[in-house]
Amino acid sequence: MSYSEFLGMGAELSLMAVIILLFIYDTFTSSKVGKYLPITAILLLGIQTLYLAFGNSLGLGGLNDDTSLFGGMYVSTNISNVAKIILNIGTILVFTQAASWVKEDDMKIRRGEYYVLTLITLLGMYFMMSAQNFLLFFIGLETASLPMTALVAIEKYKENSYEAAAKYLFFAVFSSALMLLGLSYIYGATGTLYYTGIASELTVTPLTIVAIVLFLAGMGFKLSLVPFHLWTADVYQGAPTVVTSYLSVISKGAAAYALMVALTTAFGSGSEVWFNVLYIVIALTITIGNLFAIRQQNIKRFLAFSSVSQAGYIMLGVMSYENGFGDASLLYYVLVYIFSNIAAFAVAGAIERASGKLNINDYDGLYKTNPKLSVAMMLAMFSLAGIPPFAGFFSKFFIFYSAIETGTIPMYVLVFIALLNTIISLYYYLLVVKAMFLKDNETPIATIKSDGYTKAVVFVTALGIILLGLVSCVYDYIYNAAI
């Protein structure tokens, strides 16, 4: 093995460089200069994103299509690169959202940790998505999971945050253990951990079926698929809002993509098994997520269950990977979901910081006092519900379209279930809109003066919700990378 192979991992190396730069900056600068950490983090990550997007065409190297390193353990393709770009965009938005949070007194001393830990989870996700070997995959998964626990607990003086972190850690360990068990069965059955090797050796036996189900269960935890989702609401509610929004979009997007790669390449010959298991899981996820979302009063719990349901829609893309639309529509859905959900969390976070209020009832009459935040929240809800012409409509359209394209009766049924659930979800998304715009309230939340960062993230996500669907080149870009 030559060490020059490391240079092929342009995406990971550049992200590592960002982490190290931020770490040095945070450790060795005075507190006076230290307050520029948020903007530095945003800018550095922005530059790294630009490198991912244009590095190839500028000939900067390290990002060649279909790089296969370390005997095929690590593979970088056009589409995995696009997936990384999408996650980066989401992370930049979360960082912008976080900028006003880390200025608070309690957070000031921890802001360095926040940024570095978040980026380390992102690095883990990078490896998870590019892995073609379950060892590398698992290391990536754990690199993404463990710092996440620290992030959930970062407001450790708050009991909620503490409890959430404990639950998250326990669940993460538990699901990792089960997944490792499943992977060890796979190793026992096929004698290899390489995706390609497994693909050629795998036969459907009770042992491999249990292995696949355990693997799905482990990933189901990350994606909060039913019945592996029960931690979601408690953790989302207890974690700081910024971390919740990261957890709900970035972590989920990465897991969805990595799961798709693993299922379609490694378990390709067992596809009938995971297809049917996933079928039931998706139908349950979308429906149960909705049923719980209807009853929620706390906006963060509400968004938690909404994100459970949305994960089911994302997984529809995996079901239709064979016709070539699956991966593109999955990533497009993730991108749109990032914008919609971060918009919702950014507004909820701004209101929480200003007034401490988190109940949907408290939003009554919000439009009178905070018209801009209300409109942004409305756009986010419309997009999550899939109302045209907002981006969420197009992402749902493409994901349903790719599912319908498979042309089998069971898929029609699944899409029908998903459509019915879209109607149900419309109800609870509109409840929020109704509270803000139609309900009268004598004491609405006072007008909030947001800082520049909050304004920026709300504006950019709202703009994204309006434009991502109408500007057709976004989907084309992803689609062209996928084929």
Chain contacts with another protein (rule: CB under 8 A): 167, 170-171, 174-175, 178, 204-206, 209-210, 212-214, 216-217, 221, 226-228, 230-231, 233-234, 272-273, 276-277, 280-281, 288, 290-292, 294-295, 420, 423-424, 427, 472
Give, in order, the Cα–Cα distances in Å from 224 to each of 235, 249, 261, 310, 476: 11, 11, 18, 10, 29
Tokens linked to 444:
């609405």
Least Å from the CB of residue 273 to another protein: 5
C-beta pairs of 49-58 under 8 Å, 24+ apart in sequence? 49/85, 49/88, 49/89, 49/92, 51/10, 51/14, 52/10, 52/11, 52/14, 52/81, 52/84, 52/85, 52/88, 53/85, 55/10, 56/81
**Closer Cβ to another protein, 43 or 180, answer by number:** 180
In terms of Cα–Cα distance, which of 107, 101, 105 is closest to 156? 107
C-alpha torsion sign, points 307, 313, 314, 315: positive
**Closer Cβ to another protein, 25 or 367, answer by number:** 367
**Closer Cβ to another protein, 333 or 398, answer by number:** 398
The label of the residue with tokens 């520049």 reads: 452
Least Å from the CB of residue 481 to another protein: 17
The helix/strand/coil state of 96 is helix
The helix/strand/coil state of 151 is helix
Residue environment code for 224-240, b if the CB has 16+ CB neighbours within 10 A, otherwise e: bbbebbebbbbbbbbbb
What is the separation, in whole angstroms, between the first and last Cα of the chain? 31
Q: How far is CA 148 from the centre of its chain?
A: 13
**Closer Cβ to another protein, 180 or 424, answer by number:** 424
Least Å from the CB of residue 326 to another protein: 18
**Closer Cβ to another protein, 199 or 354, answer by number:** 199
Least Å from the CB of residue 179 to another protein: 11
**Closer Cβ to another protein, 199 or 209, answer by number:** 209
Least Å from the CB of residue 347 to another protein: 20
Least Å from the CB of residue 429 to another protein: 14
**Closer Cβ to another protein, 156 or 295, answer by number:** 295
**Closer Cβ to another protein, 84 or 229, answer by number:** 229
Residues sharing a CB contact under 8 Å with residue 158, sequence separation 6 or more, in sequence order: none
Least Å from the CB of residue 227 to another protein: 3
In terms of Cα–Cα distance, which of 81, 90, 119 is closest to 337? 90
Residues sharing a CB contact under 8 Å with residue 5, sequence separation 6 or more, in sequence order: 69, 70
In terms of Cα–Cα distance, which of 324, 361, 357 is closest to 482? 324
Least Å from the CB of residue 84 to another protein: 27
**Closer Cβ to another protein, 127 or 228, answer by number:** 228
Least Å from the CB of residue 178 to another protein: 7
